[in-house]
Structure 1
Amino acid sequence: MLPLLDLLAQNPVLTLFTVLLLGFALGGVRVFGFSLGVAGVLFAGLFVSALDPRIALDPAVYELGLALFVYAIALASGGHVLSSFGRAGLIRNGLVLGLLTLGAGLTLGLGRLLGLEPALTAGLYTGALTSTPALAGVIEAVAGQPGAGDPVVAYSIAYPMGVIGVMLALFFFERRFRPDYAAEARALGVSGEEPVTRTLRVTDGRELTVESFVRAHGGRVVFGRLLHGGHLETAEAGSVLRGGDLVSVTGAPADVAAVIRVLGEEVAQSLSEDRSVLDFRRIFVSSPGVAGRRLSELRVNERLGATVTRVRRGDRDIVPDGRTVLELGDRVRVLAPRGRMAEVTRFFGDSYRHLSEINLLTFSLGLVLGLLVGTLPLPLPGGGTFRLGVAGGPLLVGLVLGALGRSGRVVWNIPYSANLTLRQFGLALFLAGVGLRSGGRFAAQLATAEGLALLLAGAAVTLSVTGALLWTGYRLLRLPYSLLSGLAAGLDTQPAVLGYATERTRSEVPELGYASVYPAALIGKILLAQLILRLAG
């Protein structure tokens, strides 16, 4: 064993990838449906570091990982910030931020009761609510301060219950409230089903344009092919729907059924079988000139005679409308005249190789701006200053740039797949670094009475905050439970909880709740952890 430890101590790069290997192997182990996921890297780092205190990484490694992780996730979340300013969004975010503040107060009280050092108290809060960026801010704030304590120790002890506790709370309140998930999804207009395409014969005696019908009857549907008088064409906004016409409609099953009831009757004939005049193709969005723009701005129908009938983002199909913003990596299903399909393909780009490349100029520019913002001293009430640091600066700038999407010709967002890769790799680097710096202290603490107290205190914070969210949201605010389960995952900023909630509800409703509060919860926990650190001192 000693030669291996000597080898790891002398080779930091080998140490890093050994920890990543062990961490992802540990994270893939499932117990009662729960797994640590990427957080397994943290515990692998703690284990390896506990074997020999000489094994460590340069702090620049985990700072780099943190900056990549926070900036990538902020870019992806920036567009959701705008949706949180409506009345419903303000209610949800107000509830989440209020309960996060309540959790901070509870953590402070428990920290004083147990006689914890300031950094341990702040680390307890970040672990109980599973916030790695907030932990990073605490680590940065206490660097070089003797007697502050090690926040990673408290974070690591509280973290597992910070995930499992939320899932247990969701299960318990689900059994108590017995929500009807299918009815909630229908009420929110989220069926959780893949879009379908149906052909209908128009029997309505009125002559309606496609645009006027959609505006009058609502619903997110796309009219594709229109067969009138034996002539097949794309159904444009100004196309008139007359009795006897055949038209294809794409949308959620319930929306398509509603259109058929109002406009005509479904027929078995499929207009897509005839590809002699109109053709369709899945095309990758790889052109910087298209990414970050609304479909209404692109005017593909006017320019190319084409219609975008679906947008596939990640593993999900979206039925688009004029407000839909295309992103690099989207796959659009386009209906166009057969002779113009090559032109349409060039317009969107359709380069898979280009999607695997990141514009390092704009990506680096955004990170530089974020890191510079993180160094600025910001005033605190009553005097003193604080800095957003490596975690907060890139987070704030990334949210702004993600919401903008593009500035002139500069596209800030990066392809969906590249974002996920950078996010995971950055988080893994950070967790490996912080785990390797705290293994000895974690092992010593875990076997003490204080370690048990930290575990119980973390569980108390997790269950209190989550339980208050679910009861208040369901009983007082009358929010759908499926939406509340997404809010709980967003409050915890925990993808594992979101996956659990999505599996239980079998719909996309939890994703809506998660996305609407995630940015505010992320920023709120960073700031509240800093406040705990100061008040506990």
Structure 2
Amino acid sequence: MSSVKILFFILTLGYILGSIKFFNIRLGTSGVLLVALIFGHFGQEISGAVRDIGLVCFVASVGLIAGPVFFCNFKSRAVAYMVIGFVTIISGAALCVASIKILGIPVPLAIGIMNGALTSTPGLAAAIEATGDPTASIGYGIAYPFGVLGVVLFVQIVPRILRIDFSQTKPVMDCGQDLQPEGTAGKGSMKIDPFGFFPLVLTIAAGLIAAKIVIPLPGGARFSLGASGGPLLTGLIIGYFGHIGPISLEVRKSTLETMREFGLALFLAGAGAAA
């Protein structure tokens, strides 16, 4: 069976599985990963290019969607966001190291479990890129349902404990009222294409260039954004500014949401089948 046929069989069955409720929870697009793992177990392969294309489309779309409000929100609550992010990453990494040392879980599998528990698809991509081992996808698939369940329970239980009614709360800053930086109104009136694919491919191209930049760290270590971080960062920047001179870089939200979903599905299908 050709790689293209396998891909669309996986996508079809994955979306069917993802639509089924288990204890009132749907797996959604992650159903594609579980189906891909089964296909991969029986030796069905998908080109690695499918996974790579899906990844960059997904993270670039996420960046472009978040760009207009990201810097506004970050400016208003920078310290809080950094503390939350730091605590989340450190606690997850500590548990990951403990599972490797105490339980003897293989490193790629443990890293995949950590990202699945955090429901972090870009984290899975970074894990595969860093370790070069697709078994991280297996760990991700094992932990992801529990990660989703944990988030759902947290969102439902914690507000009741703290007696918070989200319907009555108001955002501290409504960034939606000012999606463009000061002084950009009226700029970027010329569009290369009506659907916004040019800004998307520009974001991906610039992101892949940024991904190749390696920063040396003390002790001989090196840091780079990688294929997941590069397009995400450029997406945030391009999404925020929205234009280059007279050229508009705005993308229809419907286009970005479609590319985000399709990219995620391609990435999960490729990552799962490779495992």
**TM tier, shorter chain?**
0.7 to 0.9
- 5+ long unaligned stretches in structure 1: 1-7, 191-219, 222-290, 299-324, 328-346, 439-537
Asked whether 1:25 is paired with 2:16, we answer yes
Q: Which residue number in structure 1 is paired with residue 150 of structure 2?
A: 165
Distance in 2 separating the partners of 1:380 and 1:296: 37
Asked whether 1:387 is paired with 2:220, we answer no
Q: Which residue number in structure 2 is paired with residue 150 of structure 1?
A: 135
Aligned-CA RMSD value? 3.0
- Do the aligned residues in 2 keep the contact of 1:374 with 1:389 (CA within 8 Å)? yes
Alpha carbons of 1:182 and 1:141: their partners in 2 closer, same or farther (altered >3 Å)?
closer
Distance in 2 separating the partners of 1:123 and 1:38: 17
Q: Which residue number in structure 2 is paired with residue 372 of structure 1?
A: 209
Within the candidate set 4, 7, 28, 1:13 is matched to: 4
Distance in 1 separating the partners of 2:167 and 2:4: 50
Q: Deviations 1:488-523 (Å, cap 9, x if unpaired)?
A: xxxxxxxxxxxxxxxxxxxxxxxxxxxxxxxxxxxx
Q: Which residue number in structure 2 is paired with residue 3 of structure 1?
A: none
- Do the aligned residues in 2 keep the contact of 1:118 with 1:149 (CA within 8 Å)? no
Letter in 1 for 2:51: Y
- 5+ long unaligned stretches in structure 2: none
Letter in 1 for 2:110: T
Q: Which residue number in structure 1 is paired with residue 163 of structure 2?
A: 178
Within the candidate set 297, 303, 307, 2:185 is matched to: 297
Report which of the two has the higher share of helix: 2
Within the candidate set 80, 98, 108, 2:69 is matched to: 80
Q: Which residue number in structure 2 is paired with residue 125 of structure 1?
A: 114
Structure of higher CA gyration radius: 1
Alpha carbons of 1:374 and 1:181: their partners in 2 closer, same or farther (altered >3 Å)?
closer
- Do the aligned residues in 1 keep the contact of 2:10 with 2:35 (CA within 8 Å)? yes
- Do the aligned residues in 2 keep the contact of 1:292 with 1:411 (CA within 8 Å)? no
Asked whether 1:112 is paired with 2:89, we answer no
Distance in 2 separating the partners of 1:90 and 1:411: 32
* Residues 137-286 of structure 1 mapped to structure 2, 5 A cutoff: 137-143=126-132, 150-185=135-170
- Do the aligned residues in 2 keep the contact of 1:83 with 1:89 (CA within 8 Å)? no
C-alpha deviation, 1:123, in angstroms: 1.1
- Do the aligned residues in 2 keep the contact of 1:84 with 1:90 (CA within 8 Å)? no
Alpha carbons of 1:142 and 1:26: their partners in 2 closer, same or farther (altered >3 Å)?
same
Give the paired residue count. 272
C-alpha deviation, 1:103, in angstroms: 2.1
* Residues 339-350 of structure 1 mapped to structure 2, 5 A cutoff: none
Letter in 2 for 1:112: K
Distance in 2 separating the partners of 1:105 and 1:97: 12
Letter in 1 for 2:52: E
Distance in 1 separating the partners of 2:255 and 2:128: 28
Q: Which residue number in structure 2 is paired with residue 210 of structure 1?
A: none
Q: RCO higher in 1 or 2 (8 Å CA, sep ≥ 6)?
A: 2
Q: Which residue number in structure 2 is paired with residue 514 of structure 1?
A: none
Alpha carbons of 1:390 and 1:178: their partners in 2 closer, same or farther (altered >3 Å)?
same
Alpha carbons of 1:20 and 1:383: their partners in 2 closer, same or farther (altered >3 Å)?
same
Distance in 1 separating the partners of 2:250 and 2:90: 32
Within the candidate set 56, 78, 90, 1:101 is matched to: 90
More deviation in 97-106 or 26-35? 97-106
Q: Which residue number in structure 2 is paired with residue 413 of structure 1?
A: 250
C-alpha deviation, 1:81, in angstroms: 2.5
Distance in 1 separating the partners of 2:128 and 2:64: 24
Q: Deviations 1:451-492 (Å, cap 9, x if unpaired)?
A: xxxxxxxxxxxxxxxxxxxxxxxxxxxxxxxxxxxxxxxxxx
C-alpha deviation, 1:42, in angstroms: 0.6
